[in-house]
Amino acid sequence: MSHDTLAIIWFGLWGLIWAVYFMLDAYVLGTGMLFPFVAKSEREQRQLQDSIGPFWSGNEVWLITAGGATFAAFPLTYALMFSYLYTPLMFILFALFFRAAGLEFMHKDDSKNWKSFWKWGFFGGSLVLALLLGVAFANLFKGLPFDATGYHGSLLSLLNSYGLLGGLTFLSLFLLSGSVWMAVKTSGSVQERGARLANRVWMAAALLVTIFLVATNNKTHLFDNFVAHPVLWILPALSIVSILLVKLFLHKQKWITVFAFISATIVTLMATGFAGMFPNMLLSSLDPAQHVTLYQAAGSRLNLQLMLIVAVIFVPIVIFYQSWMYRFFREKISPENAQGYK
């Protein structure tokens, strides 16, 4: 295969890996944000911990893979993106730390202050991570303020109206995913509260997804590709259809089906952004001539070939393992059998 063909394949894989990470970590982040408000006792806290315990660290494999694929397949994109977005990425790193530490350390000590600190650390890490991931990718879709002389933005410039809208959109979808996950994986009062929250959060999520797509048309150039290739309109259409079907199956209390359509909404929303960016990987909001294309950013032909061979071998293994994990731990967690982290 030619270098350009390999670069296109890796662009598709790059976007797919990020979309899979967003889809899988959505319910963990949503559970973390809802944790202090849904769990009314230590037993219920342990119930929620057990509902995500076997899965959350495996989901992080996709985040590591996304970062690694960016570094190895598109070194120029990695260098520029991690330089331009250094401050928000450091906040994301600390949020990941507090999310994980809060979940693991919460019940390692009987001190009330210790438990409270890590409970809110779990909440805060999940909230910051969910918001900043949405803000970061919304800005990637809109374009970053750089030109031939360098980067001219700051953390505050990333918190523009479109960036914040993207952050709130994904945050609402993660909350919806987390509340439905509670209905899927728990029983008793926690399941009932999760179900009630899902019905309340859906309206905000559906509204924000719609506004975000309208704003994408007005604030970005992503849909230029869609005008040139009309078949791509199926992606945002599927986002709208999926979020509407969530409501239909919420009413029927088909929780696994609801969870599947939330996941489809997240994946198609991410796919809409990546399809609109193609063939660019970094968009400049100051000078379109400075867009970084996937052909410029890609590594050597040999590098891309070797990585593709590794991906073909190991990605199916990861998928098989995670599928087995979800099947093995498919039983609902009741308050009586919840162990939590001790």
Whether residue 26 has pLDDT greater than 90: yes
The number of beta carbons lying within 10 Å of the beta carbon of residue 137 is 20
Q: Could you give the CA distance from residue 213 to residue 234 in angstroms, rounded to a whole number?
A: 13
pLDDT of residue 30: 96
In the chain, the percentage of residues whose pLDDT exceeds 70 is 99
The CA dihedral of 278, 279, 285, 288, to the nearest 10 degrees, is -140
Would you place residue 341 in the very low, low, confident or very high pLDDT band (cuts 50, 70, 90)? low
- Per residue in 2-23, pLDDT (tens digit) is 899 999 999 999 999 999 999 9
Q: Strands of 16-103 (E only): list them.
A: none
Whether this prediction's pTM lies above 0.85 is answered by yes
306-326 burial, b at 16+ Cβ within 10 Å, e below that, comes to ebbeebeeebeeeeeebeeee
- Per residue in 54-93, pLDDT (tens digit) is 888 888 889 999 998 999 999 999 999 888 888 888 999 9
Domain ranges for the chain, please list them.
3-328
pLDDT of residue 115: 86
pLDDT of residue 107: 78
pLDDT of residue 54: 86
The CA dihedral of 120, 125, 126, 132, to the nearest 10 degrees, is 140
For the residues 172-182, what does the mean pLDDT come to?
96
Sequence length of the chain is 342
Q: Taking the alpha carbons of 86, 87, 92, 93 in that order, is the dihedral positive or negative?
A: positive
pLDDT of residue 204: 96
Q: Could you give the CA distance from residue 183 to residue 112 in angstroms, rounded to a whole number?
A: 28
pLDDT of residue 111: 86
Q: Average pLDDT, whole number, for the chain?
A: 92
For the residues 126-133, what does the mean pLDDT come to?
95
Whether residue 250 has pLDDT greater than 70: yes
Q: Could you give the CA distance from residue 180 to residue 28 in angstroms, rounded to a whole number?
A: 11
DSSP H or E run through 51: helix 42-52
- Per residue in 183-192, pLDDT (tens digit) is 999 988 899 9
pLDDT of residue 342: 60
In the chain, the percentage of residues whose pLDDT exceeds 90 is 70
Is it true that the peptide bond before 145 is cis, omega within 30 degrees of 0? Answer: no
For the residues 301-311, what does the mean pLDDT come to?
92
Q: Could you give the CA distance from residue 197 to residue 39 in angstroms, rounded to a whole number?
A: 13
For the residues 285-303, what does the mean pLDDT come to?
92
